[in-house]
Structure 1
Amino acid sequence: MSEVACALHAVLDVLRTAGLLTEVRGSEDVVVRGVSQDSRTTVKDDLFLAWKGTQDDAHDFVPGAVVRGASAVIVERPLQVDVPQLVVRDGRRAAALAADVVLGSPSARMAVVGVTGTNGKTTTSLLVRHLVAPETRSAVIGTLGLTLKDGVRAATEDLTTPGPVQLTEWMRDLSAKSYETVVIEASSHAIEQHRLDGISFDVAVFTNLSQDHLDYHGDMEAYRAAKLGLARLVSKDGTLIVNADDDAWEGLEGGGRKVVSYSLVRKADVRARDIRLSSTGTSFRMTVAGQDLNISLPLIGRYNVENALAASAAAIAVGVSLECVAQRLEVAPQVAGRLEAVVAEPFGVLIDFAHTPAALEGALEAVRPLTEGRLIVLFGAGGDRDRSKRRLMAQAVARLADVAVLTSDNPRTEDPDRIIDDLVEGIGSTDFIRMTDRRDAIRKALEVARPGDTVVLAGKGHETYQVVGKEKQPFLEADIARDALRELGVL
């Protein structure tokens, strides 16, 4: 980052204005040439950013960062180190603002769209990029990593929304390469932890809200409040795109910003009617500002119509014409791990990332009417996460599946059999098979499938690993399914 040169007093000014700075120790006459939140990658003249996290306290690594060459540090408490210290009230927020200043406020030079909600963030974000792509160079930062026209760059952090340093570095690189539009998946954790506070958003999309992450947020009201926090990061002349079919967003105040609603069933600014589902996609009539257009979307399920409406509204908000939006929806790409087909005959096999009750319900409701035979659903639940949603996930599967295969997702440090015990409590009278090892369970689900059935492998989606204990083990579900199908003589 040698091209960066930022006077420390510029960072001080921003932190003072934000009401974060409590004390300065050492000289303010310092130039920083980069930012770091990892002492192992800190280089000479970096500004090191420290805060007390939920698992680790970065203050423990400040001496190491100084040894590696950090010329100043931002801390939440004074330390015994021989470099200038900016002591702040909130290290997370200070880190986001400092990274933005040091790296030249790159988001101010691009149109930035934030997408939040429990489900649909990835698909909606990728659809926005697809819709604006013919007009501008565009990228998505989110669950898959950094998505560009020529592929995906994996994140170094296992987060839907990266930390403030990686996020701002990516934004700086995109700006330097003349990217004009960036779409960011905004998780509730990232919003609440102020990772996004250095970003200037032009548009925010609110998809839907259902139970998830209560292990972190505590209750649904706190979870909702975290999601709504994205609105405060949108510029005063920006736009909020809101799903009018979800009562969770009722009463969302724009604060002078333009508010655009979308809906499948209610009066809204962007509306879908006459929805028709098929095994190859979904057709509907889209109404925007009094104009009606017939849309043929190559994605299945009503929830993908919602995603398409949200993406359309966002694309229009950043200047894409309605005609271009309609044309591009007709050639929307398949999103990795979202009802992604492995085989269609003699029975269908689909992979989906659904790992919440609402997401499972949405995916299975899309597949159920398209299935001639039985619907077989393999799923598990993440360990060390919101335990209260497990019964609800099982109940969603029980309502729509003919056969359930209960197995492991990412058990992490929790006993996988205990997780399955929680799922069994919600499965009711639905026929189910219980197999702890996910690889064996996939083979079993495919083994019991008959012609005309559909097998949905839910939970892993695009992921390339399974977390067992604290170890990430390689796990590519599509490849595992194909290997099992070959062994069974289906492929």
Structure 2
Amino acid sequence: MKMKQIADILQISPADKLKLSALTDRIHNLTANTKEVTTGTCFVAIKGANFDGHTAIKEVFENGAVLAVVDSASTVTLPTEYTDRIIAVHNTHKSLAQLATIFYHNPSADLSMIGVTGTNGKTTVTHLISEIMSDNNQPTGIIGTMYNKIGDTKISTINTTPDANTLNQTLNEMRNQNMTGCAMEVSSIALDQGRTYGVDFNVAVFTNFTEDHLLYHKTMENYFAAKALLFSQLGNGYDVNNIKTAVINTDDSYGNRLIGMTSANIITYGLDESAIVRAKEINISSNGTSFVLSIYGEEYNVNTPLIGMFNVYNTLAAVAACFAMNLAPEQIVNKLSTLHGVEGRFQLVPNDSGITAIVDYAHTPDGLKNVLATINDFAEKRVFCVIGCGGDRDRQKRPLMADVAAQLATNAIFTSDNPRKKDPDAILDDMTNHLPMKSFTRITDRTEAINYALSHALPGDVVLIAGKGHEKYQIIGTTKSYFSDFDVINANFTRKMSLLS
């Protein structure tokens, strides 16, 4: 990347433009991470929650950086010996996105980009879209909570939506690996922080909207405003070669609000008769779900192994998105019967005990309510629910989660999730202080809680272990240790079978 390209795309002062014109270096690396600085790096200083990149300017130059982009509002004293190689911008988050787009040659423009936002369902919807599109000879990568996926390769991630530089780097790799598209989870925090600036989305999908992330957003309106950015940022122009489509769940009242916030084409989905993509005559069992799918009034019989009403909505969202990407209804419907579930999303744990054990990521009141409602539709006997709440997260959500479990499960068992730096018992107090003692069981240790539920369950009962889903860790204090709900359940069943044999 040339200095002139930087001068052309960033909004900087005439003095900083002169600085760039005097530099002859080429940029060979772009990063906001001090640990990734090498010779020829352009370093973008970002003030994060735990570290301020502005405090490391001298260090990055000593390690080979040739240019630093800083925030004009930063109060950190910068080293004077590098003044001729430091330029200031109004927003370094946006500048990182702008520079990454140039550095990686605008990869999103060469991919069919499908962004999925909403409180619940993002992971399942992106996986379903990828599976349907890939099965129709349009290999589609995934960026999301569980991992980034390029072809058959899964790459571990830290955030649901990565920073702008990592995002463009990943999209560039997808392009290099001959992916034709990307199904991407887009979080509200990422939208608020501008991590997706510059990504040329073709389709934006809205799943639903319920309470979450209020520790960050403070209010529901702020939270919704962040979600809405995905749709307002689809653009205002109309290019026949780059049609934009918003796919919106209009059974959700917030979805109806989104319709007026985008100039893009709109495909609605839901159960209401007015939806363009609609499900009716729904039948849910412990083996799967069947329904009649209507697309613009044309009807198709659907049988899917995915279980639950929430998965009907997830399927409709994926169908509408793939339809927006110009797949024929028949191409989409033919794949629905062989869709695979997502790890940690209503995942059944195989066993011969007669107990139905399920691991699910439900970590919001609405998500837990949907999962338990689905279980109650087919449960023969009792329903055990093991659930906790995370530390350093929305405190007001804790009693709401407990209420859902106590109301919809016959046996509610409250335990630890990822307490982080908070006292696990204080979190459990927040969850249970308002509940009658006889309405729940409280076991702080998560392994003990899971084993308690399984030891008390009998054939015909259902045991739901909720909150962590696919996660392979538990964070207690600052220690992150291996932990898997699935493995704990599996080990319990293995011990039982060993004793019986």
TM over 0.5: yes
Q: Does 1:248 align with 2:254?
A: yes
Match of 1:373 among 381, 387, 407: 381
Match of 1:343 among 338, 350, 355: 350
Rate the CA distance shift 1:174–1:21 in 2: closer, same or farther, 3 A: farther
Match in the other structure for 1:3: none
- Looking at structure 1, the residues matched to 154 and 486 of structure 2 have their Cα atoms a distance apart, in angstroms, of 18
Matches within 5 A, 1:154-303: 154-155=156-157, 158-235=158-235, 236=237, 237-252=243-258, 253-303=260-310
- Looking at structure 2, the residues matched to 67 and 233 of structure 1 have their Cα atoms a distance apart, in angstroms, of 39
The answer to whether the Cα contact below 8 Å between 2:141 and 2:150 also exists between their aligned partners in 1 is yes
SS in 2 for 1:26: helix
- Looking at structure 2, the residues matched to 318 and 417 of structure 1 have their Cα atoms a distance apart, in angstroms, of 49
Match in the other structure for 2:78: 79
The answer to whether the Cα contact below 8 Å between 1:39 and 1:68 also exists between their aligned partners in 2 is no
- Looking at structure 2, the residues matched to 430 and 92 of structure 1 have their Cα atoms a distance apart, in angstroms, of 51
The answer to whether the Cα contact below 8 Å between 1:275 and 1:282 also exists between their aligned partners in 2 is yes
The answer to whether the Cα contact below 8 Å between 1:20 and 1:89 also exists between their aligned partners in 2 is no
- Looking at structure 1, the residues matched to 5 and 272 of structure 2 have their Cα atoms a distance apart, in angstroms, of 50
The answer to whether the Cα contact below 8 Å between 2:286 and 2:378 also exists between their aligned partners in 1 is yes
SS in 1 for 2:274: coil
The answer to whether the Cα contact below 8 Å between 1:244 and 1:266 also exists between their aligned partners in 2 is no
- Looking at structure 2, the residues matched to 118 and 169 of structure 1 have their Cα atoms a distance apart, in angstroms, of 26
Match of 2:61 among 63, 66, 73: 66
Match of 1:52 among 47, 67, 77: 47
Q: Does 1:132 align with 2:133?
A: yes
Match in the other structure for 2:93: 92
Rate the CA distance shift 1:347–1:255 in 2: closer, same or farther, 3 A: closer
Rate the CA distance shift 1:20–1:478 in 2: closer, same or farther, 3 A: farther
Which AA in structure 1 matches 2:347? E
- Looking at structure 1, the residues matched to 421 and 329 of structure 2 have their Cα atoms a distance apart, in angstroms, of 49
Q: Structure 2-normalised TM-score? A: 0.92
Match of 1:384 among 392, 401, 407: 392
- Looking at structure 2, the residues matched to 304 and 368 of structure 1 have their Cα atoms a distance apart, in angstroms, of 15
- Looking at structure 2, the residues matched to 21 and 90 of structure 1 have their Cα atoms a distance apart, in angstroms, of 17
Deviation at 1:255, TM superposition (A): 3.6
Measured against aligned partners, the alpha-carbon deviations of 1:347-378 in whole angstroms (never above 9, x if no partner) come to 01110000000000111111112111100000
Measured against aligned partners, the alpha-carbon deviations of 1:73-94 in whole angstroms (never above 9, x if no partner) come to 1110483252622211111111
Rate the CA distance shift 1:71–1:350 in 2: closer, same or farther, 3 A: same
Match in the other structure for 2:120: 119
Deviation at 1:489, TM superposition (A): 3.9
Deviation at 1:230, TM superposition (A): 0.8
Residue identity over aligned pairs, in percent, reads 34
The answer to whether the Cα contact below 8 Å between 1:21 and 1:86 also exists between their aligned partners in 2 is no
Q: Does 1:34 align with 2:29?
A: yes
Deviation at 1:117, TM superposition (A): 0.3
SS in 2 for 1:360: helix
- Looking at structure 2, the residues matched to 473 and 122 of structure 1 have their Cα atoms a distance apart, in angstroms, of 24
The answer to whether the Cα contact below 8 Å between 1:269 and 1:288 also exists between their aligned partners in 2 is yes
SS in 1 for 2:48: coil
Deviation at 1:478, TM superposition (A): 0.9
SS in 2 for 1:336: coil
Which AA in structure 2 matches 1:449? A
Which AA in structure 1 matches 2:42? L
SS in 1 for 2:36: coil
Deviation at 1:427, TM superposition (A): 4.5
Rate the CA distance shift 1:321–1:472 in 2: closer, same or farther, 3 A: same
Deviation at 1:254, TM superposition (A): 4.7
Which AA in structure 1 matches 2:180? E
Match in the other structure for 1:101: 102
Deviation at 1:20, TM superposition (A): 9.7
Which AA in structure 2 matches 1:48? F
- Looking at structure 1, the residues matched to 276 and 395 of structure 2 have their Cα atoms a distance apart, in angstroms, of 38
Matches within 5 A, 1:335-484: 335-344=342-351, 345-425=353-433, 427-428=435-436, 431-484=439-492
Deviation at 1:47, TM superposition (A): 1.2
Deviation at 1:105, TM superposition (A): 0.7
Measured against aligned partners, the alpha-carbon deviations of 1:234-286 in whole angstroms (never above 9, x if no partner) come to 24430111110110122322542101110113411111100100111110011
SS in 2 for 1:201: coil
The answer to whether the Cα contact below 8 Å between 1:241 and 1:313 also exists between their aligned partners in 2 is yes
- Looking at structure 2, the residues matched to 320 and 51 of structure 1 have their Cα atoms a distance apart, in angstroms, of 41
Deviation at 1:137, TM superposition (A): 1.6
The answer to whether the Cα contact below 8 Å between 1:354 and 1:360 also exists between their aligned partners in 2 is yes
SS in 2 for 1:234: coil
Match in the other structure for 2:240: none
Match in the other structure for 2:152: 150
The answer to whether the Cα contact below 8 Å between 2:234 and 2:262 also exists between their aligned partners in 1 is no
Which AA in structure 2 matches 1:272? A
How many aligned residue pairs are there? 482
Match in the other structure for 1:308: 315
Which AA in structure 2 matches 1:143? T
- Looking at structure 2, the residues matched to 164 and 12 of structure 1 have their Cα atoms a distance apart, in angstroms, of 19
Rate the CA distance shift 1:316–1:176 in 2: closer, same or farther, 3 A: same
For structure 1, which segment, 159-168 or 7-16, has the greater mean C-alpha deviation from structure 2 after superposition? 7-16
The answer to whether the Cα contact below 8 Å between 1:25 and 1:85 also exists between their aligned partners in 2 is no
Rate the CA distance shift 1:37–1:25 in 2: closer, same or farther, 3 A: farther
- Looking at structure 2, the residues matched to 205 and 140 of structure 1 have their Cα atoms a distance apart, in angstroms, of 14
Gaps of 5+ in 1: 1-5
- Looking at structure 1, the residues matched to 34 and 121 of structure 2 have their Cα atoms a distance apart, in angstroms, of 35
SS in 1 for 2:88: strand
The answer to whether the Cα contact below 8 Å between 1:32 and 1:47 also exists between their aligned partners in 2 is yes
SS in 1 for 2:205: strand
Q: Does 1:323 align with 2:324?
A: no
For structure 1, which segment, 212-221 or 478-487, has the greater mean C-alpha deviation from structure 2 after superposition? 478-487
Rate the CA distance shift 1:20–1:148 in 2: closer, same or farther, 3 A: farther
- Looking at structure 1, the residues matched to 437 and 203 of structure 2 have their Cα atoms a distance apart, in angstroms, of 45
SS in 2 for 1:204: strand
- Looking at structure 2, the residues matched to 390 and 471 of structure 1 have their Cα atoms a distance apart, in angstroms, of 22
The answer to whether the Cα contact below 8 Å between 2:406 and 2:440 also exists between their aligned partners in 1 is no
Higher helix proportion (structure 1 or 2): 2
For structure 1, which segment, 50-59 or 292-301, has the greater mean C-alpha deviation from structure 2 after superposition? 50-59
Which AA in structure 2 matches 1:103? Y
Deviation at 1:145, TM superposition (A): 1.4
The answer to whether the Cα contact below 8 Å between 1:21 and 1:88 also exists between their aligned partners in 2 is no
- Looking at structure 2, the residues matched to 170 and 25 of structure 1 have their Cα atoms a distance apart, in angstroms, of 33
